[in-house]
Amino acid sequence: MTQPHPPQGEDARGTAGTGEGATPDSERVAPSSQYRDIPQATVTRLANYLRVLGSLSETGTLIVSSEELASAAGVGSAKLRKDLSFLGPNGVRGVGYDVLRLQARIENALGLDRGHRVVLVGVGNLGRALACYPGFDRRGFTLSGLFDADPALVGSTVGDLVVRGVDRLESDARELGATIGVVATPEDAAQDVCDVLVRSGVRSVLSFAPIELDVPEHVEVRRVDLAVEMQVLSFNSARNDELLRAAGGAHAAGIPPTRGPLGSAVSTPSPARRSRTGKAGPLGSAVTRNGSVIAP
């Protein structure tokens, strides 16, 4: 992860400070507000780069090239450089990115350096699993409060926290300084819970309940729906089958293989296609054909 590599693409110009072609990073930490125009898709990818960088820093890697980082994150290196260009000058030409510095830069852009206190409502099957997951802390999210309506659960310990009654949600979430509220209740309770979270001052809600939640304009809701993710996988799988069939026909006719939907040449899947480099990701996880990394 430390070999130098020649600059290319927009980096090579070294003008706009878009990547490894830029001058060495200044120590100046930009305010997060400077990043508000970053496109949503880039924000999602930045979070992914951050995860990869976290794994690299845990293994003591100091410098990473854009190709290596891009490969581990499952994106093309041009896209990676474009994404990182939103953060201002990064990296050193011919050397690569300083892992810790880039981590700090992305954390700043994502507002993670401020830290987030999270409260979770609904400590059932899903809520318990989330409450026991140790990975949030590593990424700047401190689970600070668990709430449930079931008297049998209130007072019990889940993970490191004692479950509180939902009747205390408004006052306790405010007192805890919660910035994010997670809704893991049945759908019929989700809107009420969301309203209480909003009254407590929470401005970001992550909901697992399968309904749309009404919130005031200043509050953002993100809904997680695994069924939707599986539907996307189903669609991609059907499309890739189609492309493989077309590529098979083209091979038979002596026509070169077509490009896949993400720019990869379509060929029969094999273990060697676990990632663009044929390597497992930094977490030992496989990079899927559509570019996402499956975390262990």
Contacting residues toward ligand NAD, per CB under 6 A: 121-127, 147-150, 153, 166, 184-187, 189, 192-193, 208-210, 224-226
Nearer CB in complex with ligand NAD: 143/209: 209
Q: Nearer to ligand NAD by C-beta: 75 or 178?
A: 178
Query: In the complex, what is the shortest distance from the CB of residue 178 to ligand NAD, in angstroms, rounded to a whole number?
Result: 15
* Closer of 226 and 253 to ligand NAD (Cβ): 226
Nearer to ligand NAD, 56 or 153 (CB): 153
Alpha carbon 296 to its chain centroid, in Å, reads 14
- Beta strands 157-158 and 161-165: pairing type? antiparallel
- Which residues are annotated as part of the binding site for NAD(+)? 122-127
Give the CB-nearest residue to ligand NAD: 124
**Residue 123 beta carbon to ligand NAD: minimum distance, rounded to whole angstroms:** 5
**Minimum CB–partner distance for residue 191 and ligand NAD (Å):** 10
3 state SS for the chain: CCCCCCCCHHHHHCCCCCCCCCCCCCCCCCCHHHHCCCCHHHHHHHHHHHHHHHHHHHCCCCEECHHHHHHHHCCCHHHHHHHHHCCCCCCECCCEEEHHHHHHHHHHHCCHHHCEEEEEECCCHHHHHHHCCCHHHHCCEEEEEEEECCCCCCCCEECCEEEEEHHHHHHHHHHHCCCEEEECCCHHHHHHHHHHHHHCCCCEEEECCCCCCCCCCCCEEEECCHHHHHHHHHHHHHHHHHHHHHHHHHHHCCCCCCECCCCCECCCCCHHHCCCCCCCCCCCCCECCCCCECCC
Q: Where is the binding site, in residues?
A: 122-127
CB of 284 to ligand NAD, least distance (A): 25
Q: Looking at beta carbons only, is 102 or 153 nearer to ligand NAD? A: 153
CB nearer to ligand NAD: pick between 201 and 210: 210
